[in-house]
Amino acid sequence: MEDKLQELVVELLGDGAMEYFIGYRQGFEPSHVVPCFVTDKSEADRLIWGPLCLQNLSKYVLQARDLDGKVGLLVKGCDARAIVELVKQHQIERDKIVVVGVPCEGQVDPRKMEQVLGVSMEQVTDVEDAGDEFLVKVGGEVSKLGKEQVLRDKCFYCKHPTSFDYDYTLGEVQPFTIDSESEEYDAVEKLEELPLEERRAYWLKQFERCIRCNACREVCYGCYCKECIFDRTDPRWLDRTPLPRENEIYHLIRAVHLAGRCIDCGECERVCPVNIPLGRLYKKLQKDIAELFDYEAGMEYDTVPPLVDFELDDQDPFL
């Protein structure tokens, strides 16, 4: 798969229409995969693909807005929906990006793998995909791990990877299926069933841990505002001090801004240095948006986001 990718990139870079190609490369240790910007054919061999290519690279295309050439991008099905939204929200033209789709067989959640292996990810030198298992090499010997133990949450309900109009695909892209009893909204429903005070305590504890490093905002494709509302001084909605109530305002308002736009790529939860389960907050929004307005983000270019649209017969509990 990787050589097919590298040949394609060499070819694409060859005809000069592309400024650079955004993919993944090996980081400082084998289990650490990082984004890679290939500007020259010679660097194409650094590109890799595997179950540890976790980042959603779509947001990087925004940097190509003021370049005259195109930008190439390697993207998983679930992350491609961000391109649809970025085009729909007038941030970039579709023909400015060359999108290379890759068949994805499920991705590893490093935190889960560390718990299961009982060893830190540093020791893991290779993870390979093998049907419904991962071949994990730790210090020389290889062990088999059932995927359902270490899979990223979003991979349990992998949907719509085929809904995107890729320019190229490395092999046949179709949804990754795994039989597991966990349903898409399990975590959300579990929280919803908690009594109110417990939920209140749960979330206040999370918001208290937040150090307001803004990683969830900077990694999210949907947060591309030139000047974020939290950075404004007229009026000052939020203080920069990470006090629990300020953090709560920050997370709730960001959630409202992403309502109907969040494509559930899971990056905000993955990069959070203090492990705040942001995925649950945004999953709850997706559940409501689907139920209330029968809408899913990142599917079509021409649909109108739900919160800026209405139906005459919308649900109306407020009469």
Of 203, 264, 269, 296, the one binding another protein (CB under 8 A) is 203
Pick the binder of another protein from 137, 217, 290, 299 (CB under 8 A). Answer: 217
Q: Is 257 in the site for another protein (CB under 8 A)?
A: yes
Three-state secondary structure of 29-90 = CCCCEEEEEECCHHHHHHCECCCCCCCCHHHHHHHHCCCCCEEEEEECHHHHHHHHHHHHCC
What angle do helix axes 196-209 and 244-258 make, rounded to 10 degrees?
100
Between residues 7 and 231, which has the closer beta carbon with respect to another protein? 231
Please report whether residue 273 would count as binding another protein according to CB under 8 A: yes
**CB of 58 within 8 A of CB of 75?**
yes
State yes or no: residue 221 binds another protein (CB under 8 A). no
Considering only residues 88 through 107, tell me which ones interact with another protein, judged by CB under 8 A: 89-91
Mark residues 19-38: x for contact with another protein by CB under 8 A, - for none: -x------xxx--xxxxxx-
When the beta carbons of 7 and 310 are compared against another protein, the nearer one is 310
- Minimum CB distance to another protein smaller for 38 or for 99: 38
Site string for another protein, 274-313 (x = CB under 8 A): xx-----x--xx--xx--xx----------xxxxxxx-x-
Which CB, 131 or 317, lies closer to another protein?
317
Binding residue (CB under 8 A) for another protein from 187, 249, 290, 299: 249
The answer to whether 110 touches 58, Cβ cutoff 8 Å, is no
Residue 119 interacts with another protein (CB under 8 A)? no
Residue closer to another protein by CB (options 178, 307) is: 307
- Rule CB under 8 A: say whether 130 interacts with another protein: no
Asked if 248 interacts with another protein (CB under 8 A), we say yes
CA distance 291 to 161: 21
Write out the two tokens for 63. 């940097």
Query: Looking only at residues 2 through 21 of this chain, which bind another protein when binding is defined by CB under 8 A?
Result: 20
147-186: which residues touch another protein (CB under 8 A)? none
Shorter beta-carbon distance to another protein: residue 168 or 224? 224
CA distance 70 to 82: 18
Q: Which of 122, 128, 165, 183 binds another protein (CB under 8 A)?
A: 122
Residue that has been written with the tokens 């407020």 in this structure? 318
Handedness of CA 159, 172, 15, 2 (dihedral sign): positive
- Residue 219 near another protein by CB under 8 A: yes
The footprint of another protein on residues 53-72 (CB under 8 A) is: 55, 59-60, 63
Q: How far is the CB of 211 from another protein (least distance, A)?
A: 5
Residue with tokens 């088999």, as numbered in its chain: 144
Single out the residue of 129, 264, 267, 296 in contact with another protein (rule: CB under 8 A).
Answer: 267
